Structure 1
Amino acid sequence: MIGARITAIGSYVPAKRLTNADLERMVETNDEWIVQRTGIRERRISREDEYTSDLCTAAVQDLMKRYGKSVEDVDMILVATSTPDFASFPSVASIIQHRLNIPLTAGAIDLSAACAGFVYALHTAHSYVASGMHRKVLVLGADTISKITDYTDRSTCILFGDGAGAVLVESDEQSTSFMGFNLGSDGSGAQHVYRTGLSRTLQEIELIDSQLLVQNGREVFRWAVRTVPQGVQQLLHQAGVDLAQVDWFIPHSANMRMIEPICERLNYPIEQVLHSLVNYGNTSAASIPLALDLGIREGKVQNGQRILMYGFGAGLTHAGQLIQLDLDEQQSQPTQG
């Protein structure tokens, strides 16, 4: 197996803020209620003419500027998203291939695994590089969930925001970032989180004009609090690593009230959890790379540390990845709006 190392990271969030005070004027809610139940204070919302490919492009440009990287030799692009620019095709990966002048010989695909998408894409990138099929893979987790959010539904509209994160996974003969993984899915809970559109029933297929996110939060909560701790333990057992040896835990930033019981079941200190939900909300596939990059920007996360990422969401899918961080040296200071 060839070594595969995460060499650089970048991120981007839209400029527009949607605060809890703003939501008070839209639906029957208030700041105290939202903070107590979610931990979220504001979210970033894409402009009407700003799409997932735009966020991805900006995240890669941030990566290139900070780490002095070129993408002219990228040979595979993987984009994890539930909100592509177009309903089915072309892929976001193909759009950013053109925008960033990545060679026409590079592969370009989107992956659909909802809030677990970035970890699935990272796992796929590792497989490609470790097998020798590719040498430099661009991995993105990005979503513009605001475009499919029902802003009359106070149970969901308080949660979601937009953002993008990007990493480079490169071949390295000396070392590897990847220490272990765990994947899973329980399709029996598929009806608990979905996007309307082409809706299948037992008797017919019905086309619904709007395409909005629908979520049974209570059921997703129960599933995640049960499933994620089990998945974490399975991952650690496979990797031969004790939880006490993990420096940072990055669960999907769904809801602080969901992260807390997961950590309680693991007996993992909440002080060592990284999340992006306070100022960005639930950004679906972008939440984990945003949280990792926030930790790096704030000086918390350092090379050599072990980081356990765990995504979970619609499907119901979940994916965990244990890495040891070994980024290249940054060429410029990170900034984030």
Structure 2
Amino acid sequence: MTGKIIGLGSYQPPKTLTNDDLAKIVDTNDEWITERTGIKSRRVSDGIEDTSSAMASKAAKAALDDAGIDASELDMIVVACTTPDKLFPAMSFCVQKAIGADGCTCFDVNSACPGFVTAYNVAQNFIENGVVKTALVIGSETLTNIVDYTDRGTCILFGDGAGAMVLRAGEGRKNAAILKSSTTSMECLYCETLKQPKKLSDPAFEKETYLHMNGREVFRFVVSTIPASMQELLDREGVSAEEVDHYVFHQANKRIIEATAKKLNVPIEKFPMNIEETGNTSSASIPILLTKMKKEGVLKKGDKVMMASFGAGLNWGVNYFEY
């Protein structure tokens, strides 16, 4: 018994912030950003209609529609988010109310960018142990609320959005995963205090409440760590790197993705990307990408998929499954 993906959905706010737009408010330009990150534009929440919970609810409804099931059939909702609308109640309860899934169990997880992978594994464990039959897993973020728009090293990277997945118990290969964390690089990516909402035009916001990141250290850590975990999981499952159809990697930086493909000796074509138009949407990046792949006919039944993500902690997660 395992959790089979029966539905995918995503939502991104309509407002687009291009590299040229950023060049008007910080010392940067389109060429500089594109060369270092692969990002050309990102979506930005208005902070009113498109809060993290609102976007999560919209993505959830899209995933339920894709699955062809009613919200009343859900046994569990797990939401990954580091930028919730409020401290409590958990954002999953807000989603539960918005979609009409009264009665199911709900909770949130916070492991930053790998949050969706963490939530996915939690849901899989509940399904494989027979506790629940149908689970909704969501990643939703408004990272632009906590970036410093005077710091070109971080404000160019992040975008907002939400992605959702419906899992249902079924026959198939059990979930294969590696989840790890290392505190040796904890200081290279953090946010001291979260205050919501924060608008792009609010110059009085204290510097301490912004996201802080040492990009070089994150790059070094990821390239030296994540490919090894990916290979470890493949070896454990008896699958060669060449057999995998899609490497669904956290959309943080194009250079990181290219370096990972090189380490695994896998063609970059097996690493689908949408970072050019989304930026880094943290826990939402993988489900947003999976939804795009399905809509475009890239993701097909029976495909062998490896998804991997990393983020603050630093922590990381890798999964292998057959779609």
1:334 aligned partner: none
After superposition, residues 16-165 of structure 1 pair within 5 angstroms as 16-49=15-48, 50-86=50-86, 88-104=87-103, 106-165=104-163
Point out where structure 1 has 5 or more consecutive residues left out of the alignment: 199-207, 326-337
Q: Report the alpha carbon displacement of residue 218 of structure 1 after superposing the two structures with TM.
A: 0.6
Contact map agreement 1:274 1:292 (CA 8 A) in 2: no
Q: How many angstroms apart in 2 are the aligned matches of 1:267 and 1:295?
A: 22
Is 1:6 the counterpart of 2:5 in the alignment? yes
Q: How many angstroms apart in 1 are the aligned matches of 2:96 and 2:175?
A: 29
Q: How many angstroms apart in 2 are the aligned matches of 1:94 and 1:15?
A: 25
Q: Deviations over 1:33-55 (max 9, x none)?
A: 11000000000001121211011
AA matched with 1:63: A
Q: 2:187 aligns with which of 171, 176, 191?
A: 191
Using the size of structure 2 for normalisation, the TM-score is 0.93
1:261/1:129 CA distance change after superposition, 3 Å: same
Tell me the secondary structure at the aligned position of residue 288 of structure 2: helix
Q: Report the alpha carbon displacement of residue 142 of structure 1 after superposing the two structures with TM.
A: 1.1
1:314 aligned partner: 312
Is 1:182 the counterpart of 2:209 in the alignment? no
Tell me the secondary structure at the aligned position of residue 42 of structure 2: strand
Tell me the secondary structure at the aligned position of residue 225 of structure 2: helix
Aligned residues: 311
Q: Report the alpha carbon displacement of residue 209 of structure 1 after superposing the two structures with TM.
A: 8.0
AA matched with 1:83: T
Q: Report the alpha carbon displacement of residue 274 of structure 1 after superposing the two structures with TM.
A: 1.5
Q: How many angstroms apart in 2 are the aligned matches of 1:182 and 1:240?
A: 15
1:179/1:241 CA distance change after superposition, 3 Å: farther
Q: Identity across aligned pairs (percent)?
A: 39
AA matched with 1:69: I
Q: How many angstroms apart in 1 are the aligned matches of 2:66 and 2:131?
A: 27
Q: How many angstroms apart in 1 are the aligned matches of 2:7 and 2:321?
A: 14
RMSD between aligned alpha carbons?
1.4
Tell me the secondary structure at the aligned position of residue 154 of structure 1: coil
Q: How many angstroms apart in 1 are the aligned matches of 2:80 and 2:111?
A: 7
Contact map agreement 1:141 1:289 (CA 8 A) in 2: yes
After superposition, residues 174-253 of structure 1 pair within 5 angstroms as 174-176=171-173, 178-197=174-193, 211-253=209-251
Q: How many angstroms apart in 1 are the aligned matches of 2:85 and 2:55?
A: 11
Contact map agreement 2:2 2:175 (CA 8 A) in 1: no
1:299/1:123 CA distance change after superposition, 3 Å: same
Q: How many angstroms apart in 1 are the aligned matches of 2:18 and 2:288?
A: 19
* Runs of 4+ more than 4 Å apart: none
Tell me the secondary structure at the aligned position of residue 6 of structure 1: strand
1:221/1:209 CA distance change after superposition, 3 Å: closer
Q: Deviations over 1:234-262 (max 9, x none)?
A: 11122111111100001110000111111
2:167 aligned partner: 169
Q: Deviations over 1:170-189 (max 9, x none)?
A: 112x335x441111100121
Contact map agreement 1:77 1:139 (CA 8 A) in 2: yes
Q: How many angstroms apart in 2 are the aligned matches of 1:48 and 1:102?
A: 25
Q: Report the alpha carbon displacement of residue 210 of structure 1 after superposing the two structures with TM.
A: 5.3
Tell me the secondary structure at the aligned position of residue 154 of structure 2: helix
Q: How many angstroms apart in 2 are the aligned matches of 1:133 and 1:175?
A: 17
Contact map agreement 1:18 1:45 (CA 8 A) in 2: yes
